[in-house]
């Protein structure tokens, strides 16, 4: 039986060329798998037909938008996941859902190899291969672009020689990866970190400085999940899509940063994530009302570690699974409404309410009706500061 290779297929130049290259170099049959995580662009049926025309023996297309939103974006919202306190893991979140479908396809087609089109300088090679190793340690990985120096010039020459039905002209000056949770842009003139981004680089967001009226939105959460916008029930996917439009129209979610890549280099990245940033901002604010102080303090450390694991491609790791349990438990009471004003590139919280609120007006007020017993404070302070006082006496007598 001829060996089969399952290829993560995007429909672009590199992965289209990979189909023919793998078949020619290894003699294996290629099964192309394209996963829709809300990246937009070409119709999936068009991508499927292109894969077959490029030599794939079979081509599968998967609409994973709801799965991606519910199973991957939602955990990131609950974890307030921002790598280096800024990046909402746009690309990192999409890789494990793609990996799951690649492994499932490999099982269906009795394939022993999974291939991808990543280079050797990025994070995605790790996310794909570490994920595959965790789900299916018996499978091996093939990376033609990385391991066989498949440059763009070589890819174009191969495509022209074989008559592959793909466009090879009009190359974008940027490298772009996008999905429903956001958009990542790099390379080109952005590699000079003194150069500022130009306006035509953006698609998900409008110029935050352009004059326009403000937009007010009320986001309802249940156990950390967005379940309604302005009182209208929504799925997680619908919440992200609508806030991409509304927050994006206000220029919210633009991020320009120099990022520490897993492979050890620093990389200049420009991101657009209007829906993600609006939801994380609202979720974090609702936590401030509903999560107990010590739990909230500990969760901040868990959030950072959770984010680093996902960024580093360890979505399926034992530690990540264990931290998921903590994050879910910490979100048990994150229920209620957050009112936000979207305007001028900012999502500003203006109101909070929750039946699970730990905010007690009678304890917090300084006016008549205050129920806080201030007489307890003196003794509390004396005991709280006692160890420091004892140490200070010792140190002052030395």
- Over its C-alpha atoms, the chain yields an Rg (Å, rounded) of 25
Question: Which one is catalytic: 110, 147, 152, 175?
Answer: 175
Classify residue 68 as left (phi > 0), alpha (psi -120 to 50) or beta.
alpha
Q: Within a 10 A sphere around the Cβ of 172, how many other Cβ atoms?
A: 9
Tokens at residue 165, please? 């039905």
Q: Within a 10 A sphere around the Cβ of 181, how many other Cβ atoms?
A: 27
Q: Give ∠ CA 70-75-77 in degrees, rounded to 5.
A: 100
Q: Any catalytic annotation for residue 152? A: no
In sequence order, the 6+-apart residues with CB closer than 8 A to the CB of 24 are none
Question: Which one is catalytic: 65, 78, 94, 124?
Answer: 124
Q: Any catalytic annotation for residue 175? A: yes
State the Cα–Cα distance between residues 283 and 226, nearest whole angstrom. Answer: 8
Going across the sheet that includes 113-115, the strands are: 58-63, 29-36, 4-8, 113-115, 140-142
Question: Which one is catalytic: 65, 78, 95, 206?
Answer: 95
Question: Which one is catalytic: 10, 14, 183, 312?
Answer: 14
In sequence order, the 6+-apart residues with CB closer than 8 A to the CB of 281 are 340, 347, 349
Write out the catalytic residue numbers.
Answer: 14, 95, 124, 175
């Amino acid at each position: 039986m001829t060996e089969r290779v399952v290829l993560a297929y995007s429909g672009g130049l590199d992965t289209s060329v990979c189909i023919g290259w793998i078949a020619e170099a290894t003699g294996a049959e290629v099964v192309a798998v394209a996963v829709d995580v809300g990246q937009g662009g070409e119709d999936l049926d068009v991508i499927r037909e292109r894969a077959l025309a490029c030599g794939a023996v079979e081509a599968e297309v998967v609409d994973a938008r709801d799965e991606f939103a519910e199973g991957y974006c939602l955990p990131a919202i609950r974890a307030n996941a921002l790598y280096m306190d800024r990046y909402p893991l746009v690309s990192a979140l999409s890789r494990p859902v793609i990996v799951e479908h690649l492994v499932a396809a490999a099982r269906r087609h009795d394939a022993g190899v999974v291939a991808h089109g990543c280079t050797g300088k990025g994070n995605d090679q790790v996310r794909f291969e570490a994920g595959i190793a965790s789900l299916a340690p018996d499978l091996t990985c093939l990376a033609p672009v990385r391991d066989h120096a498949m440059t763009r010039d070589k890819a174009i020459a191969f495509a022209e020689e074989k008559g592959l039905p793909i466009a090879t002209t009009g190359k974008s000056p940027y490298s772009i990866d996008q999905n429903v949770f956001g958009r990542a842009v790099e390379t080109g003139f952005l590699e000079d970190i003194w150069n500022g981004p130009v306006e035509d680089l953006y698609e998900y967001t409008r110029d935050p400085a352009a004059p326009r009226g403000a937009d007010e939105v009320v986001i309802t959460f249940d156990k950390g999940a967005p379940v309604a916008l302005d009182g209208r029930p929504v799925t997680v996917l619908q919440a992200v899509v609508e806030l991409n439009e509304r927050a994006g129209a206000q220029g919210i979610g633009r991020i320009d940063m120099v990022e520490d890549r897993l492979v050890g280099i620093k990389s200049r990245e420009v991101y657009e994530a209007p829906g993600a940033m609006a939801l994380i901002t609202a979720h974090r604010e609702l936590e401030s009302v509903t999560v107990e102080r010590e739990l909230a303090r500990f969760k901040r450390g868990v959030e950072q570690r959770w984010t680093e694991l996902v960024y580093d491609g360890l979505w399926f790791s034992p530690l990540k699974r264990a931290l998921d349990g903590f994050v879910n438990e910490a979100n048990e009471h994150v229920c209620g409404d957050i009112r936000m004003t979207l305007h001028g590139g900012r999502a500003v919280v203006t109101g909070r309410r929750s039946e699970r609120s730990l905010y007690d007006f009678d304890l917090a007020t300084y006016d008549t009706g205050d129920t806080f017993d201030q007489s307890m404070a003196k003794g509390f302070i004396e005991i709280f500061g006692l160890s420091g006082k004892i140490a200070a006496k010792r140190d002052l007598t030395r």
